[in-house]
Amino acid sequence: MAPLGCELSERGNLKAGSDYQTTAPGVFACGDARRGQSLVVWAIWEGREAARDVDAYPMGETSLPASPEL
């Protein structure tokens, strides 16, 4: 179990859904913390996507721009 009560994946990363929310409600993870050691472009891409989900969490919607399709 990681801090804040977040569960870890089998690979030892923070477990998070497609909305980047961990198993602890209101706690989000992206980049290397979620996918494990990877490439900086993924960290940037996921960071932008996660920011949209963080924004939508209390607001119900977001106007932040989406990351480009890959």
Task: Figure out which of the listed residues 40, 59, 66, 70 binds ligand FAD, where binding follows CB under 6 A.
Answer: 40
Query: Measured between alpha carbons, how far is 38 from 61 in angstroms, rounded to an integer?
Result: 29
Q: Which is nearer to ligand FAD, 3 or 60 (CB)?
A: 3
Sequence-separated (6 or more) residues with CB below 8 Å from residue 64: 48, 51, 52, 55
Query: Measured between alpha carbons, how far is 57 from 3 in angstroms, rounded to an integer?
Result: 20
Q: What is the nearest approach in angstroms of ligand FAD to the Cβ of residue 60? A: 27
Q: Which is nearer to ligand FAD, 32 or 55 (CB)?
A: 32
Residue ranges in contact with ligand FAD by CB under 6 A = 31-33, 38-41, 43
